[in-house]
Structure 1
Amino acid sequence: MADVFFYGTLCHPPLLRAVLGREVRVAPARLAGHSVFWAEGQHFPMIVEGGEGARGVLAEGLGPDDIARLDHYEGGFDYRTRDLAVLADGRSVVARVFFPEPGRWRPGRPWRLEDWVAQSGPVAVEAAGEVMRLLGVVPAGQIAARYQMILMHAASRLRAGAGGPARLRRQAGEGDVEVEAWRQPYARFFAIEEYDLRFRRFDGTMSQVVNRAAFISSDAAVVLPYDPIRDRVLLIEQFRMGPYARGDAEPWLIEAIAGRVDPGETPEDAARREAEEEAGLTLRDLIAVAHYYPSPGAKAEFLYTYLALADLPDDAAGLGGVEGEAEDIRAHLVDFDTLMTLVDSGEVNNAPLLVLAMALARRRDDIRRRHRAMP
């Protein structure tokens, strides 16, 4: 049996429960001569020697299975344990404390659990479910290497869990889908999840067990900048792996600006950030168009799409992209009639831009009437 002192994210009871797979009683505790800071540039804290004392909680009597689960959850982030005396309930207890490898992280601002819970708590708890499902299947280091993608997937699941209108379609209820087995045969930037499951048939019975797989990518925001005064849009062009893998002779596609929704940001935030990263563009009003699954038979991807008012002078087009992500993007300014010619010819051949172009065609007169006098 072991006693463990937690000073960071695992002080949050829902996260500790998700990691250990059970409820654990903890007591307030303090480690003298230490301080806790955010790890600079990261979404978690680190403990350092020095200071008035690190406050946290003490979990006593953890068993081998608990320790294995903690090692799996923390191990990929280069944390190791030390046995130190902590104060809890007026007692001095020797407990294990997770320390980062020396030099692995730099301390940032002082850590406050309340700040982390407000910013990242629900997403981290959701992500812990996926991390712990991979215990004994995938090494902790591999999980840590793609933890940002796991967080984005978790944020997508939380948004999806809010549900949507069900006026015509069946409204799902508890027990309508029963999962008998789950596997993750591939996981890097994207992932593949495979399920053996049953689902409720329209006659009320459950289906036989079927095997289904889904390509996992997080939610994304797509935005088409439009200048209602000049009556032009900004499009981007870049190499795309999907068309290339299909054997398309033209794997450079004309698209709208798009990118993944990061944990802690809204789809609207993502649209504005991507416009800056891909085209150096500051957007004004965002006009929601449609939010949808582009290929629900095989992909978990969900798109939030927008028209955006923007100032698009002649020098707005150029080269862009995030160099560290190997993005190589060229922007084009085209007038509305040219956009529709590209749609009609098939040169625009991806669903998000097709949807946005048709939405612009439908709303263009009203947008121009309302914004004709805009400076």
Structure 2
Amino acid sequence: MTVLFFYGTLRHLPLLQQVLGREVAVEPAALPGHTVARAEAGDWPTLVPLAGALASGSLMRDVTDSDLERLDFYEGGFGYRLAAQSVRVSDGTTLTALVYMPPEGQGSAGDWSLDDWRLNWGDVAVATAADVMMLMGQRSGAEVARRYGLMQVRGASRLRAATAAPATRRHHAGDSDVQVLRHRQSYANFFALEEYDLTYRRFDGSRSPVINRAVFVSGDAVTVLPYDPARDRVLLIEQFRAGPMGRGDPQPWLLEAIAGRIDAGETPEQAARREAVEEAGLNLGALEFVAGYYPSPGAKSEYIYSYVALTDLPDGIEGVFGVEGEAEDIRGHLIEFEALMSLIASGEVNNAPLMLTALWLQRERARLRTPRHGDSDNTSV
């Protein structure tokens, strides 16, 4: 009989069951001579030898060969390896259990709390694990580990997608309206390409024939246009874009709003503020929500949250910014609002989120420029 002891994130039962693909039962146990600490590189646990300590955890009995195969795939890419350890169970007796020991050299940095991790990362981890386990047999554990951060972004996007927009005029989809018969990942790097063989319910109630659809998968994104209502000006950014280049556009440098991916563990608003610092050196004021939307739903999973930020934009704040490790080279442009609308009319601004946001600002501009009682500047949160 194979027995496993879990001391870290797999103590979160929904995550363990997602990885194993079945319901399981666990019981409390502890690993003598060890303590659980926060890994130096991030918010996940590591096991540290410590005389007299007890590392709390969960014990799983009757582990199958399939369970071990799935767990090896999930853990192996990160360098965790099974080792036999003496574990103490609730009645005070000890038994031998297999434990996924952390890779050598994984430093620790203070205490780690399962409850805190569960609150901040539990749902994202479960959603991400569904994508990870889909790749078993298609990708190596090392490939999954290399892309895990991007997969977390996608997992967080799926959680946000679960809160759907209203369906008062359009069809209100039920659980069986779309049936996926086969799902595979054809390509994965910064983005992923996934193929689905599926059938869906037609408007007359019948089912469609089986069709194949490819989806270009990326995480949710945010855009934010800084606007100074006192000076009636905005800050645009300019950068090289591979998409227009791939289309054959001889002018692949685009004027845009500040934009970026929403990292796992942050809200769209937090992402907007982070990206503004990275791409323009700006600390934004109050955020005005513009819209949430799919820019190209026929082929892309990307969902964008767009904002206008009321921000003080004095002369001379534009410059060249960007995260060096991401090869970003981003130039800022301070322009009057009417100049922005002229650039849209001429076609020089051809970036859809910026155009959508500018049209929203055109509608709301008078309201935003009306002084509010108690306002002394544009930099309030």
- Contact map agreement 1:45 1:111 (CA 8 A) in 2: yes
Distance in 2 (CA, whole Å) between partners of 1:370 and 1:265 is 31
Matching residue of 2:79: 78
Q: Are 1:102 and 2:104 an aligned pair?
A: yes
Matching residue of 1:249: 250
Matches within 5 A, 1:128-207: 128-207=129-208
Distance in 2 (CA, whole Å) between partners of 1:254 and 1:345 is 13
Distance in 2 (CA, whole Å) between partners of 1:156 and 1:20 is 23
Q: How does the TM-score come out when normalised to structure 1?
A: 0.98
Deviation at 1:374, TM superposition (A): 3.4
Q: How does the TM-score come out when normalised to structure 2?
A: 0.96
Distance in 1 (CA, whole Å) between partners of 2:111 and 2:135 is 32
Deviation at 1:339, TM superposition (A): 0.7
Distance in 2 (CA, whole Å) between partners of 1:371 and 1:276 is 26
Distance in 1 (CA, whole Å) between partners of 2:351 and 2:6 is 48
Q: Are 1:93 and 2:78 an aligned pair?
A: no
**Root-mean-square deviation over aligned CA pairs:** 1.1
Q: Which moved more, 1:250-259 or 1:90-99?
A: 90-99
Deviation at 1:98, TM superposition (A): 1.2
Q: Deviations over 1:113-138 (max 9, x none)?
A: 10000000001001111111111111
Tell me how many residue pairs correspond in the alignment.
374
1:92 maps to a residue whose letter is: T
Matching residue of 1:40: 40
> Which runs of 5 or more residues in structure 2 are unaligned?
none
- Contact map agreement 1:222 1:305 (CA 8 A) in 2: yes
Partner SS state of residue 172, structure 1: coil
Q: Are 1:259 and 2:263 an aligned pair?
A: no
Matching residue of 1:276: 277
Matches within 5 A, 1:246-325: 246-325=247-326
Distance in 2 (CA, whole Å) between partners of 1:43 and 1:172 is 37
Matching residue of 1:214: 215
Q: Are 1:23 and 2:27 an aligned pair?
A: no
Distance in 2 (CA, whole Å) between partners of 1:330 and 1:37 is 42
Distance in 2 (CA, whole Å) between partners of 1:78 and 1:328 is 35
> Which runs of 5 or more residues in structure 1 are unaligned?
none
Q: Are 1:361 and 2:357 an aligned pair?
A: no
Matching residue of 1:7: 7
Deviation at 1:371, TM superposition (A): 5.3
Partner SS state of residue 67, structure 1: helix
Partner SS state of residue 371, structure 2: helix
- Contact map agreement 1:229 1:371 (CA 8 A) in 2: no
Q: Which moved more, 1:5-14 or 1:40-49?
A: 40-49
- Contact map agreement 1:229 1:374 (CA 8 A) in 2: no
1:340 maps to a residue whose letter is: M
Deviation at 1:25, TM superposition (A): 1.5
Distance in 1 (CA, whole Å) between partners of 2:216 and 2:110 is 38
Distance in 2 (CA, whole Å) between partners of 1:333 and 1:374 is 22
1:41 maps to a residue whose letter is: A
- Contact map agreement 1:213 1:298 (CA 8 A) in 2: yes
- Contact map agreement 1:228 1:371 (CA 8 A) in 2: no
Q: Deviations over 1:167-213 (max 9, x none)?
A: 11000002000000001000111001100000010000110000001
- Contact map agreement 1:30 1:53 (CA 8 A) in 2: yes
Q: Which moved more, 1:35-44 or 1:185-194?
A: 35-44
Matching residue of 1:333: 334
1:19 maps to a residue whose letter is: V
Matching residue of 2:229: 228
Q: Deviations over 1:270-325 (max 9, x none)?
A: 11111011111011110011110000000000000001100111121001111111
Matches within 5 A, 1:44-83: 44-50=44-50, 52-83=53-84
Partner SS state of residue 370, structure 2: helix
- Contact map agreement 1:259 1:274 (CA 8 A) in 2: yes
Deviation at 1:241, TM superposition (A): 0.6
Distance in 1 (CA, whole Å) between partners of 2:280 and 2:107 is 32
1:43 maps to a residue whose letter is: D
Distance in 1 (CA, whole Å) between partners of 2:165 and 2:367 is 28
Distance in 2 (CA, whole Å) between partners of 1:371 and 1:346 is 35
Distance in 2 (CA, whole Å) between partners of 1:177 and 1:159 is 19
Q: Which moved more, 1:47-56 or 1:239-248?
A: 47-56
Matching residue of 2:376: 374
Q: Deviations over 1:242-294 (max 9, x none)?
A: 00110100000000001111111110111111101111101111001111000
Partner SS state of residue 224, structure 2: strand
1:365 maps to a residue whose letter is: A
Partner SS state of residue 50, structure 1: strand
Deviation at 1:99, TM superposition (A): 1.5
Q: Percent identity?
A: 55
- Contact map agreement 1:184 1:194 (CA 8 A) in 2: yes
Distance in 2 (CA, whole Å) between partners of 1:22 and 1:293 is 34
